[in-house]
Chain A
Amino acid sequence: MALKRRDGMHHAQNLIICEHCDSVYQKRKLSRGQVADCTVCGAVLERHQWIGVDGQFALIIAALIVFVIANVSPIVTLKLSGMAETTTLWGAVIAMWNDGAQLVAALTALTLFFFPLSQLVIFCWVLWFAREGRRAPGFAQAMTALVRVKPWSMIEVFMLGTLVAVVKAHTYFDVVPGPGIWAFGFLTVLITVFSSHDTRHLWDVTKDAKA
Chain B
Amino acid sequence: MSAPPRARELGMMSCHICRLVTAYSDDPHAHCPRCHSALHVRKQGSIARSWALLLAAAMFYIPANVFPIMRTQSLSSKDDNTILSGIFELWRAGSPGLAVIVFTASIVVPMLKFIIMTILLVSVQRSSGLVSKQRARLYRFVELIGYWSMLDVFVVAILSALVHFQILSRVEPLPGVVYFGVVVVLTMLSAMSFDPRLIWDNRKSQ
Instruction: Report which A residues bind B (CB closer than 8 A).
Output: 6, 9, 12-13, 15-17, 19-25, 39-43, 75-76, 78, 80-81, 83, 85-87, 91-96, 99-101, 103-105, 107-108, 111-112, 140-141, 143-144, 147-148, 151-152, 154, 157-158, 160-165, 167-173, 200, 203
Interface of B is mostly: helix
Q: CA of A158 to CA of B205 in the docked complex: distance in angstroms?
A: 45
Residue of B nearest to A100 (CB): B173
Total A-B residue contacts, Cβ distance less than 8 Å: 217
Q: Are B34 and A12 in contact (CB under 8 A)?
A: no
Q: CA of A87 to CA of B196 in the docked complex: distance in angstroms?
A: 42
Given contacts A103-B181, A167-B94, contact A17 B19 (CB under 8 A): yes
Enumerate chain A residues within 8 angstroms of B137, measured Cβ to Cβ.
41-42
* Stretch of B51-59, B115-123, B162-170 contacting A (4+ beta carbons < 8 Å): B162-170
Enumerate chain A residues within 8 angstroms of B88, measured Cβ to Cβ.
none
Q: Are B160 and A95 in contact (CB under 8 A)?
A: yes
Q: Are A21 and B136 in contact (CB under 8 A)?
A: yes
Most chain A beta carbons < 10 A, residue from B6, B137, B150, B196: B150
* Nearest chain A CB to B68 CB, angstrom units: 12
Q: Is B188 an interface residue (CB 8 A)?
A: yes
Q: Are A92 and B160 in contact (CB under 8 A)?
A: yes
Q: How many residues of B contact A (CB 8 A)?
A: 72
5 closest residue pairs by CB, A with B = A161-B154, A95-B161, A12-B21, A41-B136, A87-B161
Q: Are A24 and B10 in contact (CB under 8 A)?
A: yes
> What are 5 residue pairs bridging A and B, where the CB atoms are less than 8 Å apart in the complex?
A94-B161, A103-B178, A104-B157, A154-B154, A164-B98
Q: Are B136 and A24 in contact (CB under 8 A)?
A: no
Given contacts A92-B161, A203-B18, contact A22 B140 (CB under 8 A): no
